[in-house]
Amino acid sequence: MAQDVLCEVNSCKYWAAGNKCNASSIYVVSHHGKKASNSGETDCKTFEPKV
């Protein structure tokens, strides 16, 4: 399992310095439930905006 999860979305509440993700788990899905063939066809459902 990955030790470090990197994320550049600094508008997410789980984003931390050094582009680290502080979420306890990560949930990634493919667009519209279709089989993804590249990273551009996936979404991070863990994202929550900073308040």
How many Å apart are CA 35 and CA 1, to the nearest integer? 22
How many Å apart are CA 20 and CA 10, to the nearest integer? 10
Write down the pLDDT at residue 32: 83
Q: Which domain holds residue 48?
A: 1-51
Write down the pLDDT at residue 36: 96
State which residues of the chain have pLDDT below 70: none
Q: Tell me the whole-structure pTM to 2 decimals.
A: 0.82
| 47 within 8 A of 37, measured Cβ to Cβ | no
Tally of structural domains, the chain:
1
